[in-house]
A = this chain, B = another copy of it.
């Protein structure tokens, strides 16, 4: 027999798979995992529930992939930002700002990826993803502490605090959706908070710090 799928067909299948992942991500971004039932995802992807199971063996598998994929992208962006030249303070600010700005696009998404529980299997994957996030922030923090730009501190805890701080600050206004105009101020306030927290900079939000403390 040696049954062979035509290139066109293969592409269509791959497209379906992508559509499912996209639909799942969109639904999570809009209403969290709660609104992302298999039925809803399938419908949003333009497929039947049954068809979805030809692409993903279970709901958990689907969302593990959605999660890791999104985190992979996010971390790549952040790593790129902190690899650029500049002080640790500048790079940390840039990373937090970028992260926060993207999270504002879909607050539920950020929340779901960091905290919202669904399934023990997915939760397990989340722990690994968080580790990846944390590592990115730890890198800058470690550099800043090593160079004396930041005071000595627990970089592990600080990294977690940064993630938590801006998650809470961004995600809370999910219920009464805040006007888009306030976003800028919110981002600035969060960035400043985190920067002060790790650097101990009294005022000067957006200025170049440059001083080296030991």
Contact = CB atoms under 8 A, between A and B. Distances in A.
B193 A161 contact: yes
Interface stretch (A2-10, A51-59, A63-71, A150-158): A150-158
Nearest to A197: B197
Nearest to A162: B165
A13 interface: no
A165 B32 CA distance: 21
B175 A157 contact: no
**Chain A: number of interface residues, binned into ranges:** 35 or more
Nearest to A176: B127
B32 A153 contact: no
B157 A163 contact: no
Contact of A123 (B130, B175, B192): B175
A185 interface: yes
Task: Name the residue in A111, A153, A166, A172 with the highest tally of chain B Cβ atoms < 10 Å from its Cβ.
Answer: A172
Interface of A: 32, 34, 111, 114-117, 123-124, 127, 130, 151-154, 157-158, 160-169, 172, 175, 185-186, 189-190, 192-194, 196-203, 213
